[in-house]
């Protein structure tokens, strides 16, 4: 057990100037909110891009009012050109994966709550933490700038496969300056997340307060810790890969372009590069990234469900070990993205088995979460609805992984909408549901005000049903062989599938519009919401034992002492059916009975 609280923290005084307080703040809570705001802007941008894509896929020649003003060449008369479609798609994927699914569940909530949940007054390196956000913010600006530079953003997809990513503007619109901006943005993003991970890991290991053993950490804290370990290794590989792409563009190198490449009848001035090298580097990051997006969700949702079930999970340890197993296995499975890439076919089999085996820890997580509901006293509110919705989506997206883990089936399903449906459900919608659950749950602590429950529930219903209407049909399209990343469907065999695309488009527009209810609720509640008590959910972990919102040093100059496991629910105590971690009150607990 550690007692580092009084010594290890780098103390810094409360800021006094506006800039130090709200902009270049060293306070992890302000930085967490800044990350949340960035993710919110990014999510809205990504959602609008998806609307434009969906309208184009449903009605290819539809003129979208006002779009011409964004890009005269990309949308003449408001009609999206094939290349502009690919540019919108690339930006949608990049924005969502990096600036929403990584920043919100990990950087935003992790920054705000990890130090509080471990009982620290801040992260150990607050200046690195501040840099982490501002570098990430700069990365977002650099990415968005590509909309307004030259012939627009890159059209190569969020995976930016080589050699299209390295041949320059001869490869198509956006493949010159657009790619350089993309790679610069992502390299910066990696720096930001590495700085974040460098703070999260020692916060968890070294700054735990008295009594806070590792197993007394809430599951959310464990999830952020495991995620930061993944981030440290995954982003450290993507960053140099992006630098090599930039060098291929500006320094005449040929890391990713082989000899004898001919484009527009011109032999390109490159030789000796490897296209598969990019795929290995990218997916060595890319698959852990899936878990970087979803593991925080698993931890957060477990934390929220426990509070609302009024009982701990069936096994705290098994959940932690399973999340750890996901993290370790995530590096051994990345080759399943490359089964038909031209990689050695024996390698495909070698990558297939760990991919199948990763189903086991995933199944254990779902089984523990679901069967912990048995005999609970489940409270239904916006947070718990989204948490339960997370499980449903995680299952639906997870089972399609059975198919894609097998090289022989991947021959049929690779690069089809089946893959798009799979990853949107399991890492997109499920992770978003985790973010929504976290928002409804922690908003009172972050802002001092409650969110509107009725609006929250309406938001949930529209999102839950809507997400299924959008993403389940993706799987059917894929099974029929509908290739992804097509700006329209001129092939004979794709024509009959267009009505399905139209259904999805309508569902996407309605579901997207429902997110505006959330946005309204968020902004309205921030200023005019009902004042929140310190512990509105009758929860046990440390964030609920301090004031709402927490003071600058989190615990008002005190160092909390932890007496209990994180989830002492279903007990009889002086305050109700729970005992807070900081309460010295001794009660007979379920664990002790066992």
Partner 1 sequence: MAKFFAITIIVIAILSAIPILRHTWVAPEDISTHGALIDEQMSETMAEAGISFLAAQFVLAFFIWKFSNPGPDAKIKRFPGGAKGLVIAALLVVGVEVIALGIFGVKAWANVYLTAPSADAMPIQVQAGQFAFYFRYPGPDRKFGPIHPELISEGSQNFYGLDPDHDPDSKDDIVTAEMAIPVNKEIHLLMHSKDVGHSFYVRELRVQQDFVPGLDVSLHFTATKIGRYEIVCTQLCGLGHYNMKAYLNVLSQQDFEDWLKKEAAMQ
Contacts (CB under 8 A) with partner 1, residues 258-277: 258-263, 265, 267, 273-276
Is residue 360 a contact point for partner 1 (CB under 8 A)?
Answer: yes
Applying the rule CB under 8 A, the residues between 544 and 583 that interact with partner 1 are 569-570
Of 397-456, which residues contact partner 1 (CB under 8 A)? Answer: 399-400, 402-403, 405-409, 411-412, 414-416
Site for partner 1 in 454-483 (CB under 8 A): 457, 464-465, 468, 472, 476-477, 479-481, 483
Q: Which of residues 195-214 bind partner 1 (CB under 8 A)?
A: none
Tokens 């932690």 correspond to 320
Taking CB under 8 A as the criterion, the residue among 127, 210, 485, 559 binding partner 1 is 485
Q: Considering only CA atoms, which of 505, 418, 507, 511 is closest in space to residue 58?
A: 505
Residue 526 interacting with partner 1 (CB under 8 A):
no
Q: How many residues bind partner 1 (CB under 8 A)?
A: 111
Selected from 252, 492, 527, 574, the binder of partner 1 by CB under 8 A is 492
CA-nearest of 548, 549, 535 to 583 is 535
Check residue 380 for interaction with partner 1 (CB under 8 A).
Answer: yes
As a three-state string, the secondary structure of 506-518 is HHHHHHHHHHHHH
Interacting residue with partner 1 among 379, 524, 526, 559 (CB under 8 A): 379
Instruction: Write out the binding residues for partner 1, residues 283-312 only, by CB under 8 A.
Output: 309-311
* Smallest distance, partner 1 to C-beta of residue 521, A: 18
With CB under 8 A as the contact rule, which of the stretches 114-122, 189-197, 233-241, 342-350 interacts with partner 1?
342-350
**If binding is defined by CB under 8 A, does position 315 make contact with partner 1?**
yes
Closest CB 167 distance from partner 1, rounded Å: 7
Using CB under 8 A as the binding rule, whether residue 517 contacts partner 1 is answered as no
Per rule CB under 8 A, is residue 376 in the interface with partner 1? Answer: yes
The smaller minimum CB distance to partner 1, of residues 265 and 557, is found at 265
Residue pair 31/130 in contact (Cβ under 8 Å)? The answer is: yes
Burial class (CB in 10 A: 0-12, 13-18, 19+), 148: exposed
Q: With respect to partner 1, which residue has the nearer C-beta, 64 or 472? A: 472
Within 132-171, the residues that bind partner 1 by CB under 8 A are 155-157, 161-164, 167, 171
User: 176-202: string of b/e by CB count within 10 Å (b at 16+)?
Assistant: bbbbbbbbbbbbbbbbbbbbbbbbbbb
Distance, in Å, from the CA atom of 333 to the CA atom of 353, rounded to the nearest integer, reads 8
**Per rule CB under 8 A, is residue 503 in the interface with partner 1?**
no
| One residue of 117, 146, 307, 392 binding partner 1 per CB under 8 A | 392
Question: Dihedral of CA 313/316/320/325: which sign?
Answer: negative
Least distance (Å) between residue 103 CB and partner 1: 25
Beta bridge partners of 416: 483
How many residues are recorded in the chain?
A: 594
Supply the minimum distance, in Å, between the C-beta of residue 314 and partner 1.
Answer: 4
The reply to whether 367 sits near partner 1 by the rule CB under 8 A is yes
Question: In 3D, which of 80, 179, 143, 152 has the Cα closest to residue 486?
Answer: 80
Q: Is 338 within 8 Å of 279 (Cβ atoms)? A: yes
Residue 338, C-beta contacts closer than 8 angstroms, at least 6 positions apart: 276, 279, 280, 283, 347, 348, 351
* Burial of 213 (C-beta count, 10 Å sphere; 0-12/13-18/19+): exposed
Would you say 4 or 420 has its CB closer to partner 1?
A: 420
Binding test (CB under 8 A) with partner 1, winner from 88, 385, 387, 437:
385
Closest to 548 in 3D by CA, of 436, 437, 443, 440 = 443
Question: Residue 477 Cβ, how far from partner 1 at the closest point, in Å?
Answer: 7
Q: Which of residues 54-113 bind partner 1 (CB under 8 A)?
A: 81-83, 86
C-alpha gyration radius of the chain: 24
Longest dimension (CA), the chain: 81
């Amino acid at each position: 057990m550690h007692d580092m609280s009084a010594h290890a923290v780098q103390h810094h005084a409360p800021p006094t100037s506006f800039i130090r307080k709200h902009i270049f703040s060293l306070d992890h809570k302000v930085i967490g909110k800044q990350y949340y705001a960035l993710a919110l802007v990014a999510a809205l941008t990504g959602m609008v891009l998806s609307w434009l894509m969906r309208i184009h896929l449903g009605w290819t020649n539809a003129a979208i009012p006002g779009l011409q003003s964004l890009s005269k060449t990309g949308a003449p008369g408001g009609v999206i050109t094939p290349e502009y479609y690919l540019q919108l798609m690339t930006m949608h994927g990049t924005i969502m994966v990096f600036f929403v699914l990584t920043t919100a569940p990990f950087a935003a909530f992790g920054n705000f709550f990890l130090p509080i949940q471990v009982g620290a007054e801040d992260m150990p390196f607050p200046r690195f933490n501040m840099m982490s956000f501002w570098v990430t913010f700069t990365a977002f600006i650099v990415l968005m700038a590509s909309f307004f530079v030259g012939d627009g953003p890159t059209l190569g997809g969020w995976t930016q496969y080589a050699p299209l990513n390295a041949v320059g503007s001869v490869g198509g619109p956006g493949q010159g300056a657009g790619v350089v901006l993309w790679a610069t943005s992502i390299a910066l993003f990696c720096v930001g997340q590495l700085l974040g991970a460098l703070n999260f890991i020692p916060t968890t290991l070294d700054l735990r307060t008295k009594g806070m053993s590792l197993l007394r950490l809430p599951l959310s804290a464990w999830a952020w810790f495991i995620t930061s370990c993944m981030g440290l290794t995954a982003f450290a590989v993507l960053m140099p890969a992006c630098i090599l792409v930039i060098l291929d563009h500006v320094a005449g190198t040929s890391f990713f372009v082989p000899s004898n490449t001919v484009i527009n009848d011109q032999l390109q001035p490159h030789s000796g590069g490897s296209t598969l090298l990019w795929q290995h580097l990218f997916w060595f990051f890319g698959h852990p990234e899936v878990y970087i997006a979803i593991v925080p969700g698993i931890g957060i949702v477990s934390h929220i469900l426990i509070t609302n079930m009024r009982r701990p999970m069936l096994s705290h340890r098994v959940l932690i070990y399973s999340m750890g197993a996901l993290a370790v296995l995530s590096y051994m499975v990345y080759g399943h993205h490359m089964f038909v890439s031209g990689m050695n076919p024996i390698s495909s089999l070698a990558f297939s088995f760990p991919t199948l085996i990763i189903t086991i820890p995933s199944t254990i997580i779902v089984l523990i979460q679901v069967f912990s509901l048995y005999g609970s006293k489940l409270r239904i509110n916006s947070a718990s609805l989204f948490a339960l919705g997370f499980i449903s989506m995680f299952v639906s997206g997870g089972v399609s992984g059975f198919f894609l883990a097998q090289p022989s089936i991947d021959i049929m399903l690779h690069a089809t909408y089946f893959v798009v449906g799979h990853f949107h459900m399991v890492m997109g919608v499920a992770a978003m549901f985790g973010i929504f659950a976290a928002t409804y749950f922690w908003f009172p602590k972050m802002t001092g005000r409650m969110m509107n429950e009725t609006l929250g529930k309406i938001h949930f219903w529209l999102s839950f049903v809507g997400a299924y209407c959008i993403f389940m049909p993706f799987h059917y399209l894929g099974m029929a062989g509908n290739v992804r990343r097509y700006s329209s469907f001129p092939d004979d065999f794709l024509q009959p599938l267009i009505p399905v695309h139209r259904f999805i488009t309508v569902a996407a527009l309605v579901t997207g519009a429902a997110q505006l209810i959330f946005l309204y609720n968020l902004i309205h509640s921030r200023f005019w919401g009902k004042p929140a008590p310190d512990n509105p959910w009758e929860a046990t972990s440390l964030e609920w034992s301090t004031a709402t919102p927490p003071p600058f040093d989190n615990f008002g100059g005190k160092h909390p002492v932890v007496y209990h496991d994180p989830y002492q629910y279903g007990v009889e105590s002086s305050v109700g059916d729970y005992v807070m971690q900081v309460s010295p009150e001794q009660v007979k607990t379920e664990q002790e009975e066992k």
